[in-house]
Chain A
């Protein structure tokens, strides 16, 4: 892992996804948080990612047809 020392915004862009996925180590996470605290440019893009993910999840949440639910329930082993 490279540090935030050279080009911190480029580094922040690089770790943004694992950061949001909660897959960064404690140390990396702290570095990303510290950068986001002080950089409005990256913070804006971070907030956009949060909104985008929420939106994608919401759009994707198509409810299961009730009829399919009934068909799945019918696959259960009959009780004797």
Chain B
């Protein structure tokens, strides 16, 4: 190899090493945010930790397929949700057609009735819900719905990002989100004031 050619080669390798380090640093800087979503996609902290490790190992191997300038957090979560499904989480045949009768005001109306004060402050009404009840209500939402609820409500992703991450149409994101939130509210209502 000529001197010029080997110099070009060396420069190329140096550039690649620099890009790679930058990618890894950027991905690590997002790990807190990725974990927050991962933690509620699976049932336990141990599972979330395993999933994070697998995700980052795969991301670091596949770093060249990330397009700089696009959403890295969404890219990482796409790997993570795919791994989560590969790990044996069966795609549930969730009955998307079964009607949910409660409307969106259902939980508030229930809690307000339990507080017994039509003028109660909204913050006071929210305080009827314990932290544990939120966590257990979230875990009671069927997987397919929960993925969307967690991405949008906890991960703060747009409908379009969630659609891309889960590889489903945006209309499906909207209907699952709608139903997932309703299920969440029903669970919260049951925990807070009983199933009546």
Contacts and interface: CB of A to CB of B under 8 A. Distances in A.
B94 interface: no
Nearest to A77: B20
A49 to B, nearest CB: 8
B154 A57 contact: yes
B186 interface: no
Interface in A22-80: 23, 44-45, 47-53, 55-57, 59-65, 68-69, 71-73, 75-77, 79
Contacts of B32: 63-64
Contacts of A23: 158-159
Contact of B104 (A14, A69, A75): A14
A56 B153 contact: yes
A60 B40 contact: yes
B108 A56 contact: no
Interface in B128-153: 129, 131, 134-135, 138, 150, 152-153
Interface residues of A, number: 36
Given A48-B125, A62-B39, A68-B52, A13 B158 contact: no
Q: From DSSP, what is the main secondary structure of chain A's interface residues? A: helix
Interface residues of B, number: 42
Contacts of A50: 122
A17 B129 CA distance: 20
A51 B122 contact: yes
B56 interface: yes
B24 A71 contact: no
B8 interface: no
Given A48-B126, A76-B60, A77-B24, A60 B39 contact: yes
28 contacts: A10-B103, A13-B104, A23-B158, A44-B108, A47-B122, A51-B123, A52-B107, A56-B134, A57-B154, A59-B131, A59-B134, A61-B154, A62-B35, A62-B39, A62-B45, A64-B36, A64-B52, A68-B35, A68-B49, A68-B53, A72-B28, A72-B31, A72-B52, A73-B28, A75-B57, A76-B21, A76-B60, A79-B21
